[in-house]
Amino acid sequence: MTAILDGAPRLQRNWDSRAACNFIGGGAGTGLLLASAAALPAGSNYFPSALLAVALIGFGLSMVWLEIGRPFRALNVFFHPQTSWMTREALLSVPLFALAGIAILADQRLVPLPFQARVPVAGLASAAAAVGLAFMFCQARMLRASRGVPAWREPALQAVIIATGIAEGLGLLLVVSLFVAPPPAWVAPAAIAALVARAIAWEYYRQRLQTWAPAAAVAALHRISLPLQLVGHLLPAALLGAAIIAPVSQLPTAVAGLAVFATGAWLKLTVVTRAGFTQGFTIPFVPSRGRNPAETTRWPPQITQPGR
């Protein structure tokens, strides 16, 4: 008996918006840690921006914890560093919180502490930023390791995740600076460069998926592409460029930074929850029962991409 089995691409259900929040908070938070450490030599305060960064990373990890069916088994994530990028991300979170937390306590001036004068804030901040970059890289590799989802396993997505995190971090630093002190002069040009990198990485990623990914995944990415380029790249770059040419107020740069962060979060939410279609498969023939030479079987089955 022969049959044709057709497994059309389906939207995965294992990772939902809570998993997307891990990439949103983790990427933006580690990018902000990097921007905060880079702004220290110019006299910027580490405390407010780094505190927001740690809160974002913690928020993302807590969303993953809530997504687990049995949350008290969450400690199992630490047991497979040799095979799991999620385990490596979790392990890196420990020194990340420790380094950034001590630097935040040493930099804040709300509560005087006896060890503040002896703690090298710049060194701890730099170390936290380096661990944060490794954390961000682990997140990018977590998506690529999902072999059954074409939109995630595409190698070009790694550049999108990293460029987005750096751009979001610079954007959030501009937002925080609106409430504390003006940012260093290099932040706006660096944010424009990060936006250009993100725009190029995004278009390259989309073009790579055009010919072989499920049509529904390509369509989901296509729907957000034009708004992303206009609101997430062109508008912030124009506001930042105008602020560089004629600096008047910090409000336009803060608006630009907020747009960068919001569109980056939208990008990640779409990739995780709306473009996460499985590969799909087709098995034209399966083995028949008994021995009937009149029936032709083909084994092993050929796994092909269903037609678009």
Q: For residue range 150-161, what is the model confidence (pLDDT) as tens digits?
A: 999 999 999 999
pLDDT value of position 286: 55
pLDDT tens figures, 160-172: 999 999 999 999 9
Q: Is 211 helix (H, G, I), strand (E, B) or coil?
A: coil
Q: Is the pLDDT of residue 94 over 90?
A: yes
- Any idea which architecture 5-283 has in CATH? Up-down Bundle (1.20)
Average pLDDT over residues 249-255: 92
What is the average pLDDT across 16-25? 93
Q: Report the predicted TM-score, pTM, of the whole model to 2 decimal places.
A: 0.86
Residue (of 124, 122, 166, 148) closest to 27 by Cα position = 166
Omega before residue 300 within 30° of 0, cis: yes
CB 18 within 8 A of CB 269: no
Dig out the tokens for 187 from the structure. Answer: 């932040």
In tens, the pLDDT along 44-93 reads 999 999 999 999 999 999 888 776 656 566 666 667 676 788 889 989 99
For tokens 């040799």, what's the residue?
A: 82
Q: What is the DSSP letter of 70?
A: S
Reply yes or no on whether the pLDDT at 266 is more than 90. Answer: yes
State the Cα–Cα distance between residues 204 and 288, nearest whole angstrom: 45
Lowest mean pLDDT among 24-38, 43-57, 59-73, 94-108: 59-73
| Per-residue model confidence (pLDDT) at position 70 | 63
The pLDDT score that the predictor gives to residue 65 is 79
Query: What integer pLDDT is reported at residue 3 of this predicted model?
Result: 43
Q: Which residues contact 170 (CB under 8 A, 6 or more apart)?
A: 31, 35, 187, 190, 191, 194, 257, 260
Q: Is the pLDDT of residue 290 over 80?
A: no
Q: For 266-275, what is the mean pLDDT?
A: 96
Per-residue pLDDT, averaged over 106-126, amounts to 87
Over 50: is that where the pLDDT of 27 sits? yes
Helical spans, DSSP H, in the chain: 17-39, 46-67, 85-107, 121-144, 150-153, 156-177, 187-209, 215-227, 235-245, 251-273
Residue 212 — very low, low, confident or very high, per pLDDT cuts 50/70/90?
confident
Mean pLDDT is lowest, of 50-54, 179-183, 207-211, 277-281, for 277-281
Look at the chain and count its residues.
308
Rounded to whole angstroms, how far apart are CA atoms 298 and 57? 50
Q: Give the chain's mean pLDDT.
A: 87
Give the position of tokens 């993100």: 198
Residue 301 — left, alpha, or beta (φ > 0 → left; ψ -120 to 50 → alpha)?
beta
Residue spans of the domains in the chain: they are 5-283
Which pLDDT belongs to residue 306? Answer: 47
Q: Using pLDDT thresholds of 50, 70 and 90, give the confidence band for residue 99.
A: very high
